[in-house]
């Protein structure tokens, strides 16, 4: 089945004019399936890292949110071992007016502002709350090791 016009347009724009630090390109065999990279925001423990993600646009998109997860290991209270992301706009706060671009920007922002009060990875969140420095160091270490 052909892609909705919206997806084509979004893809086009992403390719032509991607937000700083973010790239996204559809796979050849499935235009709803994107390879994404997000650079860690400056002055965050993830700075300098390049994180790989995958993004999938379900059939119902844009009525339903895209599915996104990290492929690169990351130490973050809102991202679990499997790369799943806890982000409201990917869940109940989704609006069809949002786009791939906005989603990815939001994720990038999430890296800059971890929220241990709404954790997905409980151990990480715990650590974050109890020993923020240690947690940040850990995050930096992971970034150095994995995110390249």
Catalytic residues: 86
CA distance 111 to 6: 28
CA distance 106 to 22: 11
> Which residues neighbour 133 within 8 Å (Cβ) at sequence distance 6 or greater?
none
CB of 141 to other proteins, least distance (A): 38
Phi, psi of 70 (to 5 degrees): -80, 140
CB of 19 to other proteins, least distance (A): 17
CB of 11 to other proteins, least distance (A): 11
Distances (CA, A) of 9 to 60, 101, 129, 130, 134: 16, 12, 42, 45, 43
Q: Residue 88 or residue 131: which is nearer to other proteins going by CB? A: 88
CA distance 25 to 37: 9
4 is a site residue for other proteins (CB under 8 A): yes
Q: Interaction with other proteins in 74-113: which residues (CB under 8 A)?
A: 92-93, 95-99
31 is a site residue for other proteins (CB under 8 A): no
129 is a site residue for other proteins (CB under 8 A): no
1 is a site residue for other proteins (CB under 8 A): yes
Q: Residue 4 or residue 83: which is nearer to other proteins going by CB? A: 4
């Amino acid at each position: 089945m052909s892609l909705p016009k919206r997806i084509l347009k979004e893809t086009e724009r992403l390719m032509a004019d991607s937000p700083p630090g973010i790239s996204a390109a559809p796979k050849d065999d499935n235009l709803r399936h994107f390879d994404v990279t997000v650079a860690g925001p400056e002055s965050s423990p993830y700075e300098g890292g390049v994180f790989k993600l995958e993004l999938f646009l379900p059939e119902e998109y844009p009525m339903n949110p895209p599915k996104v997860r990290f492929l690169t290991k990351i130490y973050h209270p809102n991202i679990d071992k499997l790369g799943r992301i806890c982000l409201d706009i990917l869940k109940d706060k989704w609006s069809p007016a949002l786009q791939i671009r906005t989603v990815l920007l939001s994720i990038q922002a999430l890296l800059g502002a971890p929220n241990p009060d709404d954790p997905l990875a409980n151990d990480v969140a715990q650590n974050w709350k109890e020993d923020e420095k240690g947690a940040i160091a850990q995050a930096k270490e992971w970034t150095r090791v994995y995110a390249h």
